Amino acid sequence: MPFIDVKRLSVHDPVQQSHLVANITFSLHRQRCLAVIGESGSGKSTIAKTLIGLISPSLKVDGEIIFDGEKLTTQTVKGWRGKRIGFISQDAMNAFNPIETIGHQMIETFHQHLGLRGKEGELHAIAGLESVHLKNPYQLMKTYPYELSGGMLQRVMIAITMMLSPDVIIADEPTASLDAYNRREVIMQLQRMKEETGAALIVISHDLGVVQAIADELLVMHQGVMLEHGSAAKIFTSPQHPQTKHLLETRLRLSKPLEALRQQNRMEAAPC
């Protein structure tokens, strides 16, 4: 049985009388990574937000989302967010409370979801920050979100998500504001989580170097509908739709330097 089963998912804007996404169907097993690609505005974040229950209440959602055999509803998703479903959002700055320190927010989250108290929570936070290579973690815990760059906040968000060890991780452009070194580190960490904890990953990315390095399956979006869905290797080598072909050609040209990253990941994944 797939871990995530999405059936005929549509999101409709009653004011504009238009669909943000229509008829999205896919399923995903544990330890698998689905990458969602497509041009800007094609509906990628809308799918992610719907899966995590963070879609604007003014929009109407149709279809069915099943997580681990249970139907996702507005009520159930609230309890699952964080511990069962981790979300790394595209907008790191807005993911944090501006008037609380990073440390306070991390410790609070670990207390709420994992029941960690005092020193235990602090050590968990430090371990998380170290795992994403953020320097001086004790100092960093005392800072406020506005004192950190977008890339640093992104890494803090990734650290929190990973330390909660959720069953599903939905990552919306997780590497967008990172440099090449940290991009590679984050990909390797996501991959490690998938292998070690059995998490299912849904990664949205414009960066096809990242997608090639991590995705088992691919979902190609265009103007709110699915163009193609299937094995990532197959779609990369023989895209069926002309629009997919165009997207892959233009995007691959931009992400050529990451070919090295893919090769390196392959080599590291290979048994000695």
Ligand X SMILES: Nc1ncnc2c1ncn2[C@@H]1O[C@H](COP(=O)(O)OP(=O)(O)OP(=O)(O)O)[C@@H](O)[C@H]1O
Q: Looking at beta carbons only, is 43 or 128 nearer to ligand X?
A: 43
Q: Count other Cβ atoms within 10 Å, centred on residue 123.
A: 13
DSSP state of 81: B
User: Residue 74, Cβ neighbours under 10 Å: how many?
Assistant: 10
184 binds ligand X (CB under 6 A): no
CB 65, CB 50: distance < 8 Å: yes
154 binds ligand X (CB under 6 A): no
Q: Which residue of 22, 38, 45, 182 would you call a contact of Mg ion, by CB under 5 A?
A: 45
Identity of the residue, 38 or 53, whose beta carbon is nearer to ligand X in the bound complex: 38
71: which strand partners? 66
Q: Which residues of 198-213 are buried (b: 16+ CB within 10 A; e: fewer)?
A: ebbbbbbbbbbbbbbb
Tell me: does residue 43 bind ligand X (CB under 6 A).
yes
**Binds 145, which of Mg ion, ligand X, none (CB < 5 to 8 A, cut-off by type)?**
none
Binding-site string for ligand X from residue 80 to residue 119, where x marks contact by CB under 6 A and - marks none: ----------x-----------------------------
Determine the 3-state secondary structure of 59 from DSSP.
coil
253: Cβ contacts below 8 Å, ≥ 6 apart: none
* Among 4, 9, 24, 42, contact with ligand X (rule: CB under 6 A): 42
Judge whether 160 and 111 are in contact, CB under 8 Å.
no
Size of residue set near ligand X by CB under 6 A: 13
Determine the interface stretch with Mg ion among 40-48, 106-114, 194-202, 224-232 (rule: CB under 5 A).
Answer: 40-48
Which residues here bind ligand X, judged by CB under 6 A? 13, 20, 38, 40-46, 56, 59, 90
Which residues here bind Mg ion, judged by CB under 5 A? 45
